[in-house]
Chain A
Amino acid sequence: MSPDLIGLLANSTGQTLYMVAVSALLGTLLGLPLGVFLATSGHGELFEAVAVNRVLGLVVNATRSTPFIILVVAIIPFTRLLAGTSIGTTAAIVPLTVAATPFIARIIETAIREVDAGLIEASRAMGATPLQIVAKVLLPEALPAIALGLTLTVVSLIGYSAMVGAVGGGGLGDLGIRYGYQRFMPAVMAAVVVVLIVLVQGLQSAGEALARHVNKRIRRT
Chain B
Amino acid sequence: MNVLASIEAVSAATAASAEAPAIRFDAVSKTYPARGRDAQVSALDRVSLAVAPGQIYGVIGRSGAGKSTLLRVINGLEKPSAGRVLVDGTDVVTLDGGGLRALRRRVGMIFQHFNLLSSRTVFDNVAFPLELAGVRRGAMAARVDQLLDLVGLADKRGRYPAELSGGEKQRVGIARALATEPNVLLSDEATSALDPETTRSILDLLARVNALTGVTIVLITHEMQVIKEIADRVAVIERGRIIEEGPVYDVFARPRTATAKSFVASVTGSSVPADLAEELSTQPITGGRAVLRVLLTGAQATAPIISRLSRGADIDVQVLAGQVDRIGGAPFGNFLLAVPGRAEVVAAALALVRELGLTGEVLGYVA
Contacts and interface: CB of A to CB of B under 8 A. Distances in A.
Interface string B158-190: 001111000000000000100010000010000
Given A126-B128, A217-B162, A140 B117 contact: yes
A141 B75 contact: no
A219 B102 contact: no
Contact of B132 (A136, A216, A217, A219): A136
Interface in B102-117: 102-105, 107, 109, 111, 113, 115, 117
B contact residues, range: 20 to 34
Contact of B101 (A127, A140, A218): A127
Interface string B38-62: 0000000000000000000000000
B131 interface: yes
B117 A141 contact: yes
B133 interface: yes
Contacts of A116: 115
A14 to B, nearest CB: 36
A118 interface: yes
Interface string A136-149: 11001101000000
Contacts of A126: 104-105, 109, 128-129, 132, 176, 180
Interface in A131-190: 132, 136-137, 140-141, 143
A47 B263 CA distance: 42
Interface string A109-136: 0000000101101111111110010001
B104 A216 contact: no
A117 to B, nearest CB: 9
A136 B131 CA distance: 10
A214 interface: yes
A82 to B, nearest CB: 37
B118 interface: yes
A119 B119 CA distance: 12
Contacts of B162: 216-219
Contact of B109 (A122, A141, A218): A122
A87 B106 CA distance: 61
B77 interface: yes
Contacts of A127: 100-105, 129, 132-133, 180
A119 B102 CA distance: 19
Contacts of A219: 162-163
A132 to B, nearest CB: 6
A69 B186 CA distance: 57
A141 B118 contact: yes
Interface string B273-298: 00000000000000000000000000
B120 interface: yes
A124, A129, A141, A143 — which one has the most chain B CB atoms within 10 A of its CB? A124
A124 B77 contact: yes
B109 A128 contact: no
A35 B120 CA distance: 23
Contact of A122 (B115, B118, B133): B115
B111 A216 contact: no
Interface in B79-112: 97, 100-105, 107, 109, 111
Contacts of A214: 119
Given A132-B132, A219-B162, A125 B118 contact: no
Given A125-B104, A127-B104, A216-B160, A119 B75 contact: no
A211 to B, nearest CB: 12
Contacts of B77: 121, 124-125
A121 B113 CA distance: 12
B97 to A, nearest CB: 8
Interface string B131-163: 111000000000000000000000000001111
A216 B118 contact: yes
Contact of B115 (A119, A129, A220): A119
Contacts of B132: 123, 126-128, 132, 136
B51 to A, nearest CB: 18
A155 to B, nearest CB: 25
A141 B111 CA distance: 18
A118 B113 contact: yes
A136 B109 CA distance: 19
A26 B75 CA distance: 41
A126 B131 CA distance: 10
B101, B103, B117, B176 — which one has the most chain A CB atoms within 10 A of its CB? B117
Interface of B: 75, 77, 97, 100-105, 107, 109, 111, 113, 115, 117-120, 128-129, 131-133, 160-163, 176, 180, 186
16 contacts: A118-B113, A124-B104, A125-B107, A125-B186, A126-B105, A126-B132, A126-B180, A127-B100, A127-B102, A127-B180, A128-B132, A129-B101, A141-B117, A216-B118, A216-B162, A219-B163
Per CB-CB distance, the 6 closest pairs between chain A and chain B, nearest first, are A122-B115, A127-B104, A127-B101, A216-B160, A118-B115, A125-B109
Given A127-B129, A140-B120, A216-B160, 13 more contacts: A121-B111, A123-B132, A125-B77, A125-B107, A125-B109, A125-B186, A127-B105, A136-B131, A137-B117, A140-B117, A140-B119, A216-B119, A218-B162
